[in-house]
């Protein structure tokens, strides 16, 4: 499909059951000899690892069918392994799935050389701070973590609109 639609890039996301060297790391791979794939792997894998507070292992070369058959730069990202019980449990939580997606988004922004912008941190106050949905400018929504915190990156200067909601409360 990437070839048919003339995609600019291909990202395959994996949640491995085990890891050769570090289950808490983000591992990133590209097709051997692909200079653009190597840059894409380093940029997106590095950004994802930073956002998820994990080590980045890569970029490394590998041969998989999608990497071999895709005409555009292609990467495989193996996020922290589900061999770690707390990682598997976090994957069942909406906030963490959104956090992983946002980590990849930040990496793609870095690939596009978008201006870095600033960081916007939202702290939810109150007794029950987890799982509040915070939407920035009607565009991107993240869920608050256990500490009630949401951090948006690459936010341009200026005023912004935030919507904070959970279970019918805004």
Compute the radius of gyration of the chain from its Cα atoms.
Answer: 17
pTM of the model: 0.82
Please tell me the distance from the alpha carbon of residue 43 to that of residue 35, in angstroms, as a whole number: 12
> What distance lies between CA 136 and its chain's CA centroid?
17
Contact call for residues 2 and 74 (beta carbons, < 8 A)? yes
Contact call for residues 152 and 109 (beta carbons, < 8 A)? no
User: Each residue's pLDDT tens digit in the chain (170 positions)?
Assistant: 888 998 889 999 998 887 666 778 999 999 999 999 999 999 999 999 999 999 999 899 999 998 999 999 999 999 988 888 888 888 888 888 889 999 999 999 888 877 778 899 999 998 889 889 999 999 989 999 889 999 999 898 899 999 999 988 88
């Amino acid at each position: 499909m990437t070839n048919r639609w003339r995609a600019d890039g291909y990202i395959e996301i994996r949640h491995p059951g085990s890891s050769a060297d570090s289950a808490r790391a983000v591992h990133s791979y590209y097709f051997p000899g692909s200079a653009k794939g190597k840059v894409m792997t380093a940029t997106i894998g590095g950004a994802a690892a930073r956002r998820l507070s994990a080590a980045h292992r890569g970029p490394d070369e590998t041969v998989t069918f999608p990497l071999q058959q895709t005409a555009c730069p292609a990467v495989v990202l193996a996020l922290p392994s589900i061999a770690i019980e707390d990682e598997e449990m976090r994957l069942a939580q909406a906030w963490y799935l959104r956090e992983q997606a946002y980590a990849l988004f930040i990496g793609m922004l870095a690939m596009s050389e978008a201006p870095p912008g600033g960081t916007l941190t939202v702290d939810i106050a109150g007794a029950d701070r987890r799982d509040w949905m915070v939407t920035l400018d009607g565009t991107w929504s993240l869920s608050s973590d256990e500490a009630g915190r949401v951090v948006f990156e690459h936010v341009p200067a200026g005023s912004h609109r935030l919507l904070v909601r959970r279970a019918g409360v805004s």
